[in-house]
Each structure stands twice: as structure tokens, then as C-alpha cells.
Amino acid sequence: MQDRRQGVRDKVLYGGVAEINERGSTMDCVVRNINEHGACVEFGAAERVPEEIKLTVARKGRSYLARLIWRQANKVGLAFRIMTSDTPVSDLDERLRRSEIKKRQLQRRIRELLGQG
């Protein structure tokens, strides 16, 4: 396979979290190499990775909107479109916030169904 990267990538071993849809579903992953243009990322099941993801690398304190370029076994190559954060991001905080919103929506719906609201 011909290497068409825009720059040399640093070999790393970072934990990452890929947000794989707009509902906040996530998959843990391992970033194997990275530079400002893209990364090689390893998943438990790469066939479930969609064409567009949001990759958060907490150790670097950055999140990226990324496009899938290639897929091979359990690894994928990503091209970064946009860096969305340059400050440390806690995935747990974001997931908790979404969970609380969903909880309030469900409680409101239950009250409606019971005729209390």
C-alpha cells in the first residue's frame, strides 16, 4: 500500500474514544500513530466504524472530526477534518450531561402517559 500521508506521524499508544453517531454512542480505541492531519486507530471491531466520527484523545486534550480513509482488520486510517477542542475533554462529563437530558425527557414522558403533566 502506497503511503500518501501529508506528514510524518508520531508512533504513540494513546487511549481514545470515538463518538460514532449523533446519539452519543461511543467506542473505545487505541491511537497507534498521529499527526495534525490524521491517525491510525485500532478498534475491537473496526467493521462497525462509520465513515465520519468524532475522535477524542484525552491525553492530548484534543477532539477531532475525522473521515475514514481506509480499513484493514481492526485498524482504520483517519483524516482529520477539524480539531474541535484544544482543551482537556472529559468524555464522562459529556455522557453524563446527555444522560441527564435523556432522563428528564423520559420523566416528562412518563408524567404525560400517567396523565400528570
pTM of the entire structure?
Answer: 0.66
**With contact defined as beta carbons under 8 Å apart, do 33 and 18 qualify?**
no
2-54 pLDDT tens trace: 455 556 788 999 999 999 887 778 999 999 999 999 999 999 987 888 999 99
DSSP 5-60: -SS--EEEEEEEEEE-STT--EEEEEEEEE-SSEEEEEES-GGG--SEEEEEETTT
Average pLDDT, the chain: 86
Q: Which helix (H) or strand (E) holds 78?
A: strand 75-85
Give how far the C-alpha of residue 113 lies from the chain's centroid of Cα atoms, to the nearest Å: 35
pLDDT for 64:
94
Q: Find, among 98, 101, 106, 95, the residue nearest to 26 by Cα.
A: 95
